[in-house]
Amino acid sequence: MNQTAEALRQRLQVQRPAIAMAAHNPLAAKLAAEAGFDAIWGSGFELSASHAVPDASILPMSVHLEMMRAIAEVQPAPIVADIDTGFGNAVNLAYAVPRYAAAGCAAVVIEDKTFPKDSSLRPGGRQELVPTGEFQGKIEAARAHGGGMLVIARTEALIAGQGQEEALRRGEAYAEAGADAVLIHSKQKTPDEILAFCRAWPGRVPLVLVPTSYPQLSFADVAALGKVGLIICGNHAIRAAVAAMRDTFRSILAEGGIAGVEGRIASVADVFALQGDDRLRELEKAFLR
């Protein structure tokens, strides 16, 4: 039994949705778990951004997979792996998902766009969807070979401008194919489109939201819908890191030294602690001669 998957499944409560924080490396994931988030979003966008390349299927599966494995090794929260379109068709996916299960992931999220994907929120992005039946086959392949991981099906029908009726049709078809939850995404700047979808959703499986574009929708507002089991903070770790590094770097150059930033950055001791320095010292005492 995949214990992390079962732990995540128990947390997908529509009365109190689980909250996942994005991470692009083990340190970010450890900080998210330390803060108390219910799960880690193994974000393809964040990982691409950390490599300074577009979120457009540029990085190979091996890079993302090894990052998920490294994240699983340093913190206990369930990992929801963002595997985009699944690295190809249903056959490719059948080979990929056992590797994510072995890496310690609790769930995979696959989206119904064509490969290579384009970032959902990029202005003027290329948003093309695969046929519904083809994507149902991918869900079934992931379920059959995922070793008990949750399979979350992400429909980009609203992102592609195909409307609520098509989004609902696809979501229901994906639940019928065995998806444990359906992620519905929107790039509208208000939550109206998402709220309308949630209210119309028949409730066969929980929904998953990523409220990046409509941040005014609170977690309490989402819980009140009684339809959503998981809320993903989709890119806040990398955005926070970019803002903090820019501020620190500019200050150092502007001030002609590093003294001015010392009070607003983490101490070296704090970083040592996050690295597990105490454990290293224990090993040294036990085994070094």
247 is catalytic: no
DSSP assignment of 111-130: ESBPSSP--TTSTT----BP
Q: What's the rounded Cα separation, in Å, for the pair 277 and 198?
A: 46
Token readout for 289 is: 């001669």
Residues ≥6 apart with Cβ < 8 Å to 249: none
Q: Which of 173, 234, 223, 174 is CA-nearest to residue 198?
A: 223
Q: Where are the alpha helices (DSSP H) in the chain?
A: 3-11, 26-35, 44-50, 61-74, 90-102, 132-145, 163-176, 192-200, 219-225, 236-255, 268-274, 277-287
Q: Which of 28, 137, 48, 22 is CA-nearest to residue 86?
A: 137
Catalytic residue from among 55, 82, 84, 180: 55
Tokens 């949630």 identify what position? 198
Which amino acid, 29? Answer: A
Which amino acid, 259? Answer: A
CA dihedral 113, 119, 125, 129 (to 10 degrees): 10
Cis peptide before 116 (omega within 30 of 0): yes
Q: Please say whether the beta carbons of 151 and 143 come within 8 A.
A: yes
Catalytically active residues, by annotation: 55
